Structure 1
Amino acid sequence: MGFMDKQIFRLGFSLLIAFCLALGGLMEPAAALTQEQKLVSEVWRIVNRTYLDGTFNHQNWAQVRQKALEKPLNDQKATYGAIQKMLKSLDDPFTRFLDPEQYRSLQVNTSGELTGVGLQIALNPQTGRLEVVSPIVGSPADKAGIRPRDRIIKIEGISTENLTLDEAAARMRGPIGSLITLLIERDGEGETEVRVVRDRIALNPVVAELRVSPQGTPVGYLRLSQFNANASMELAHAISSLEKKGAAAYILDLRNNPGGLLQSGIEIARLWLDSGTIVYTVNRQGIQGSFESFGPALTDDPLVILVNQGTASASEILAGALQDNGRAHLVGETTFGKGLIQSLFELSDGSGLAVTIAKYETPKHRDINKLGIKPDTAIAQEPITREQIATEADLQYQAALEQLKTNSVMAKKL
Structure 2
Amino acid sequence: MKIKVSLGITIGLMAITAAVTFIITSNVTLDMFNNKIKSVSEKQEFYSKLSEIDTYSRTHYIGEIDEAKLIEGMVQGYIGGVGDSYAEYLTAEDYAKRLNEQTGVSVWLGFNYEKEPSGYIKITEVHPGTSAEETGLLAGDIITAVNNTDVIAFEGGYDEATSLFNCEEGTRVKLYVKRTNDDGTSDFITYNVVAQRSEQVTVTGRVIDAIGYIKISSFTDKTESQLKAKLDELISAGASGLIFDLRNNKGGSMESLQKCLDHIIGAGTAVTAEYKNGTAEAVVVCTESEEIKMPMSVIVNQNTAGSSELFAFALAEKCAAHTVGKTTAGKGYLQTAYTCSDGSVVMLSTAILRTDNSGDFNGTGLKPEFDVALSSEIDLNQISDEAALLTDAQLIKALEVTVPKETAE
TM-score range, shorter chain: 0.5 to 0.7
In 1, Cα distance between the equivalents of 2:86 and 2:30? 12
> Superposed, which structure 2 residues align to 1:8-407 within 5 Å?
39-45=22-28, 75-112=67-104, 113-115=106-108, 118-119=111-112, 135=125, 137=127, 143-145=138-140, 156=154, 158=156, 173=166, 176-178=171-173, 199-200=195-196, 202-209=199-206, 211-213=207-209, 217=210, 219-290=211-282, 291-382=284-375, 383-384=378-379, 385-389=381-385, 391-393=388-390, 394-405=392-403, 407=405
Determine helix, strand or coil for the equivalent of 1:271: coil
Structure 2 counterpart of 1:399, one-letter code: K
CA 1:157–1:401 in structure 2 vs 1: closer, same or farther (change >3 Å)? Answer: farther
- The 8 Å contact of residues 64 and 86 in structure 1, kept in 2 or not, is answered as no
Query: Structure 1 stretches of 5 or more lacking a match?
Result: 1-31, 123-130, 148-152, 183-193
In 1, Cα distance between the equivalents of 2:87 and 2:96? 17
Deviations 1:354-403 (A, max 9, x none): 22111212321422222111111122112235342573132222222211
Structure 1 counterpart of 2:394, one-letter code: Q
CA 1:350–1:135 in structure 2 vs 1: closer, same or farther (change >3 Å)? Answer: farther
In 2, Cα distance between the equivalents of 1:228 and 1:47? 36
- The 8 Å contact of residues 272 and 354 in structure 2, kept in 1 or not, is answered as yes
State which drifts further: 194-203 or 308-317.
Answer: 194-203
Determine helix, strand or coil for the equivalent of 1:386: coil
CA 1:332–1:365 in structure 2 vs 1: closer, same or farther (change >3 Å)? Answer: closer
Structure 1 counterpart of 2:229, one-letter code: H
Q: CA deviation at 1:43?
A: 1.0
CA 1:348–1:118 in structure 2 vs 1: closer, same or farther (change >3 Å)? Answer: farther
- The 8 Å contact of residues 312 and 338 in structure 1, kept in 2 or not, is answered as yes
Per the normalisation by structure 2, the TM-score is 0.67
Determine helix, strand or coil for the equivalent of 1:405: coil
Structure 2 counterpart of 1:43, one-letter code: S
- The 8 Å contact of residues 324 and 398 in structure 2, kept in 1 or not, is answered as yes
Determine helix, strand or coil for the equivalent of 2:403: helix
In 2, Cα distance between the equivalents of 1:409 and 1:368? 35
State which drifts further: 113-122 or 271-280.
Answer: 113-122
In 1, Cα distance between the equivalents of 2:81 and 2:300? 33
Identity rate, percent: 22
Per the normalisation by structure 1, the TM-score is 0.67
- The 8 Å contact of residues 326 and 410 in structure 1, kept in 2 or not, is answered as no
- The 8 Å contact of residues 68 and 86 in structure 1, kept in 2 or not, is answered as no
In 1, Cα distance between the equivalents of 2:172 and 2:123? 24
- The 8 Å contact of residues 307 and 333 in structure 1, kept in 2 or not, is answered as yes
- The 8 Å contact of residues 215 and 245 in structure 2, kept in 1 or not, is answered as yes
- The 8 Å contact of residues 296 and 319 in structure 2, kept in 1 or not, is answered as no
Deviations 1:48-81 (A, max 9, x none): 979xxx989xxx9978985798669984323222
Deviations 1:92-126 (A, max 9, x none): 3421111122112111111112536743779xxxx
In 2, Cα distance between the equivalents of 1:68 and 1:119? 43
- The 8 Å contact of residues 309 and 366 in structure 2, kept in 1 or not, is answered as yes
Determine helix, strand or coil for the equivalent of 1:289: strand
How many pairs were matched up? 344
Determine helix, strand or coil for the equivalent of 1:310: coil
- The 8 Å contact of residues 380 and 396 in structure 1, kept in 2 or not, is answered as yes
Determine helix, strand or coil for the equivalent of 2:205: strand
